[in-house]
Structure 1
Amino acid sequence: MYGCEFCAIADGARGAHVVYDDDHTLAVLDDTPTREGHTVVLPKTHREELLGTDEAGKSVFRAVDAVAGALRETLDPDGFSVFYTSGPLVGSVRHAYVHVVPRDDGDDVSLALGRNQLDHDDATDLAARVRDASE
């Protein structure tokens, strides 16, 4: 897609530090990493959504697993934060991608989520509706 920086990387028109490459997926070190090894995993073809899609989404999440394994072997982190945002919340790059961030105890990475107490009755209802929709 014209003007998409991730498409330019996938096409070879823009340089990047590639850590993983297969037929459908590419993983590169993030240009503005939050931690050493911060990687973005993306489909090679332009798409704005991964969830509920064809093979592209499955390929990306298989690559996430492979990249995390390689980062674990290389950097020996305490764990990972892996996140994906879809729809209009994505931000400035309208090409779907997943962040893989190696984490260490006491690092300064913050992925804060506001929390509420789960209501049992609401949760029972929601769980049933989601199960019905997934059948």
Structure 2
Amino acid sequence: MAKPCVFCSILAGEAGAHVVLDEPGFLAFLDTRPVFKGHVLLVPREHVETLPDLPAEHRDGFLEAAQRLATAVKDGLGAQGSFVAMNNTVSQSVPHLHLHVVPRTKGDGLRGFFWPRTTYADDAEAASYAARLGAVLGRPGV
């Protein structure tokens, strides 16, 4: 890699993140520039750049984790649903496979692929979102 991968730095514990799911093959954490509060990124621990690069033995676990995250944004945050997406190379701001799970509610203003961004008021607000999602995912004490 020409420049360090920010997601690999998070996985190595060298960079901070608000983790909501921590498993042997995957990690999920809050996006620092969320479309809506509670926007989560799911990444494999192994550095792969795109979905086609994901080893076959990790596909089922990756999708299963994505399903649980989609449920968590509803159950933990009161969203009506979710938007689940990933980019492969084009529009991929970090060249490490990551799946977005964005909480949605009717009338939230998201149209098509226009992704407005918001911010958390402070670290405590971000931590509260991570804790709510982590609690639904069986990660007590976050």
Q: Give the TM-score normalised by structure 1.
A: 0.75
Q: Point out which structure has higher relative CO (alpha carbons under 8 A, 6+ apart).
A: 2
Q: Deviations over 1:53-88 (max 9, x none)?
A: 3223332211111112222111121111100111x3
Cα distance in 1 for partners of 2:12, 2:19 equals: 13
Aligned to 1:118: none
Query: Does 2:58 align with 1:56?
Result: yes
Cα distance in 1 for partners of 2:25, 2:101 equals: 18
- Secondary structure of the residue aligned to 1:80 is strand
Aligned to 2:128: none
Q: Which runs of 4+ in 1 moved over 3 A?
A: none
8 A contact 2:47–2:96 mirrored in 1: yes
Q: Give the TM-score normalised by structure 2.
A: 0.71
Cα distance in 2 for partners of 1:29, 1:53 equals: 24
Instruction: After TM superposition, give the deviation of residue 14 of structure 1 in Å.
Output: 0.5
Cα distance in 1 for partners of 2:113, 2:32 equals: 22
Q: Which has the larger radius of gyration?
A: 1
Cα distance in 2 for partners of 1:90, 1:46 equals: 18
8 A contact 1:16–1:29 mirrored in 2: yes
8 A contact 1:37–1:71 mirrored in 2: yes
- Secondary structure of the residue aligned to 2:109 is coil
Instruction: After TM superposition, give the deviation of residue 90 of structure 1 in Å.
Output: 4.2
- The range that moved more, 103-112 or 41-50, is 103-112
The gaps in structure 1 that reach 5 residues or longer are 114-135
Instruction: After TM superposition, give the deviation of residue 107 of structure 1 in Å.
Output: 0.4
The gaps in structure 2 that reach 5 residues or longer are 115-142
Q: Give the alignment's Cα RMSD to 1 decimal.
A: 1.9
Aligned to 1:103: 104
8 A contact 1:50–1:56 mirrored in 2: no
- Secondary structure of the residue aligned to 2:20 is strand
Aligned to 2:37: 36
Cα distance in 1 for partners of 2:61, 2:112 equals: 25
